[in-house]
Amino acid sequence: MTADEVLERLAVDSWRGPFGPVTQAHAAEALEDGKVLVLPDLPFAIAPDETRLLDPATLGEHGKNVSLDPQTHRLSNTAVPAADAALLAGMMQRFADAALALLTDLLPRYSAQLERARTSFRPAEIEQRVYSPRRDDRRLHIDAFPTRPLAGRRILRVFCNVAPDGAAREWLIGEPFIDYAQTLLPRVKTPVPGSAWLRQQVGLTKGRRRRYDHIMLGMHDAGKFDAGYQAHAPRAAVSFPAGTTWICFTDQVVHAALAGHCALEQTFHLPVAAMLHPERSPVRVLERLTGRRLAV
């Protein structure tokens, strides 16, 4: 695999349109085909008084990112003093607004049904993190949420490298989703009857986990724990320089984040019905492989 096979570069230098219909169609086709859409000329502007926040010391002790809740606008997992919390929340909110504006104008078919989820800021260097295999994003994986079942909805993410020292963010992009699924799906065990209901009742999940969510989580874990897969699975090394924005469906793009610091990330959820090609979605691919409905 090569970077040119998995990346689609787009000459966009504004977070707002208008973007022409050719550009819009090109962006949607690339994303739904499982590529990473790279916007090398689209930096996110950091205000002078916000530069002091681009520091690993901004991060709290309970995870790899600072998080901004889209409903309450409250921060979690940050170590900044109270005086700087509003400044940090404001920076992250501006990025969330910019990401939404970009997707609204670049992908108009999606705009009415995009659901904004959490905004994240990842100030710490990836290479220095120590996590369990399940939580280690330096291993090839697709995204799936243990506590937030999506029932087939897509995970669309906008990233931007805002590293003040110019450090690139280094990723690996893995094999096509169908190949990943054909390798790992046979390893996913059948869920225990009643387990999805019980998890919801005791508050372990925000909603009922469908068979789709169970399979996605199972494949996520099976791939991360398989040393052979991590060593030998197809991959392409890609680099996102500081000032670069990139977009992808992280439930479809097999990826690993190897190095870098100070990245902003905005997550959106999208119903499969809003896609140009719903048949390319993970839920439809898995339904064809299993021969059964998975999101009901």
Task: State yes or no: pLDDT of 216 exceeds 90.
Answer: yes
pLDDT of residue 125: 92
pLDDT digits (tens, 9 = 90+) for 9-28: 999 999 999 999 999 999 99
Among candidate residues 100, 32, 102, the one with its CA nearest the CA of residue 70: 100
pLDDT digits (tens, 9 = 90+) for 139-170: 999 999 888 889 999 999 999 999 999 999 99
Of 73-77, 180-184, 254-258, which range is least confident? Answer: 73-77
Q: Residues 174, 229: contact at Cβ < 8 Å?
A: no
As a whole number, the mean pLDDT across the chain is 94
**Mean local confidence (pLDDT), 120-125:** 95
For residue 125, CA distances in Å to 46, 134, 170, 216 come to 19, 19, 11, 27
Q: Residues 161, 243: contact at Cβ < 8 Å?
A: yes
Q: Residues 154, 272: contact at Cβ < 8 Å?
A: yes
Gap between the Cα atoms of 261 and 241, Å rounded: 11
Task: State yes or no: pLDDT of 192 exceeds 80.
Answer: no
pLDDT digits (tens, 9 = 90+) for 197-209: 778 888 778 888 8
**Mean local confidence (pLDDT), 165-190:** 96
Gap between the Cα atoms of 45 and 12, Å rounded: 15
pLDDT digits (tens, 9 = 90+) for 27-46: 999 999 999 999 999 999 99
pLDDT of residue 255: 98
pLDDT of residue 63: 80
Of 70-74, 225-229, 232-236, which range is least confident? Answer: 70-74
pLDDT of residue 263: 97
pLDDT digits (tens, 9 = 90+) for 77-116: 998 988 899 999 999 999 999 999 999 999 999 999 999 9
Q: What is the pTM of this model?
A: 0.94
**Mean local confidence (pLDDT), 288-294:** 97
pLDDT of residue 76: 92
pLDDT of residue 195: 81
Gap between the Cα atoms of 139 and 224, Å rounded: 6
* Residue whose entry in the numeric block shows the structure tokens 């819009």: 24
pLDDT of residue 196: 78
Domains identified in the chain and CATH numbers: 3-290 (2.60.120)
